[in-house]
Amino acid sequence: MDYAASSDIAHRKITTLRLKEMKKAGIKITCLTAYDALISRILDESGIDVILVGDSLGNVFQGNDTTLPVTLEETIYHTKAVVRGSSRALVIADMPFMSFQVSPEEAFRNAGRVMKETGCSAVKLEGGKLVVDAIARMTEAGIPAMGHLGLTPQSINKFGTYKARGTNEEEADQILEDARLLEQAGVFAIVLEKIPAELGKRITESIEIPTIGIGAGPHCDGQILVYSDMLGLTIDFSPRFVRRYARLYDDIKDAVTRFSDDVRNSKFPTEQESY
């Protein structure tokens, strides 16, 4: 469907229901991450449908090697900022490592805190059948949950590698089965990370809820990227699935160098820039 022609959807506040309608209507869903109000506002005003406060903030914002150190308090802090910067997009908070694995009750309580304290519209949890009870508990109580299958970065120490998942039949069937279980438990959408395009297609066609791909091929109902990767702010991370739409690392470096040159050569500030 031509998105521009469907101006109704283009201007309406995005809800979890709207995402399901978009899948039905064949309108692709656009998603990016954000961790602060400044970027959130730019993404929102550019018409992005979903803003994920990913636990990738552990890498991007905090400079860690993995997402594991991110805490619930930090997730709440960043999600509050992103909610303040947005108005149309659906803001989803990523539940950090160990905030939902201990028990469905603890997961439910933590997700409730995130919703109550941040004003976000939904949470995301990594994992398949192990999180099904937690998701059912949340859905029942009115907390919309998004699933995340395929490469799940919080399990890096279990797998020991960030390579693609679902590349053999057994693992592919397991991921498909997990997608069905998550759907039955009540998730409103599922992120599929770094799996073969063919498996992305199979899952997308097998479930009624939207799939959002990151390195999961073109057949998913939507696509997500980490904002700093697609804007070229990160230069040392370039997996095949990242397309760079800008070169902000170079642009910022250039601007900072010119500022420093101007200051050092007494060219800034001028009389017009002074009081």
Active centre residues (catalytic):
193
CB 148 within 8 A of CB 121: no
Q: Does 55 bind ligand KIV (CB under 6 A)?
A: yes
Please tell me the total number of residues recorded for the chain in this structure. Answer: 275
Q: Does 44 bind ligand KIV (CB under 6 A)?
A: no
Query: Partners of 192 in the beta sheet?
Result: 149, 213
Q: Phi and psi for 136 in degrees, rounded to 5?
A: -60, -40
Could you say which residues in the range 228-267 bind ligand KIV, by CB under 6 A? none
Q: How far is the CB of 65 from ligand KIV (least distance, A)?
A: 14
Biggest CA pair distance of the chain = 70
Among positions 19, 54, 122, 199, the unique one binding ligand KIV when judged by CB under 6 A = 54
Residues near 251 by beta carbon (within 8 Å), at least 6 away in sequence: none
Q: Does 49 bind ligand KIV (CB under 6 A)?
A: no
> Is the bond preceding residue 196 a cis peptide, omega within 30 degrees?
no
Q: Does 226 bind ligand KIV (CB under 6 A)?
A: yes
Q: How far is the CB of 203 from ligand KIV (least distance, A)?
A: 15
Note the helical H segments in the chain.
7-11, 16-25, 37-45, 57-60, 72-85, 104-118, 132-140, 156-159, 169-185, 197-206, 227-230, 248-264
Q: Which stretch binds ligand KIV (CB under 6 A): 49-57, 79-87, 139-147, 178-186?
A: 49-57
Could you say which residues in the range 202-221 bind ligand KIV, by CB under 6 A? 214
Q: Does 182 bind ligand KIV (CB under 6 A)?
A: no
Categorise residue 63: left if φ over 0, alpha if ψ from -120 to 50, beta otherwise.
left
Q: Which stretch binds ligand KIV (CB under 6 A): 48-56, 114-122, 246-254, 267-275?
A: 48-56
Q: Does 191 bind ligand KIV (CB under 6 A)?
A: yes
Could you say which residues in the range 78-137 bind ligand KIV, by CB under 6 A? 94
Give residue 162's identity as a one-letter amino acid code: Y
CA distance 21 to 90: 14
Among positions 56, 99, 118, 223, the unique one binding ligand KIV when judged by CB under 6 A = 56
Residue nearest to ligand KIV (CB): 54
Q: How far is the CB of 256 from ligand KIV (least distance, A)?
A: 27
Residues that bind ligand KIV (CB under 6 A): 33, 52, 54-56, 94, 148, 191, 214, 224, 226
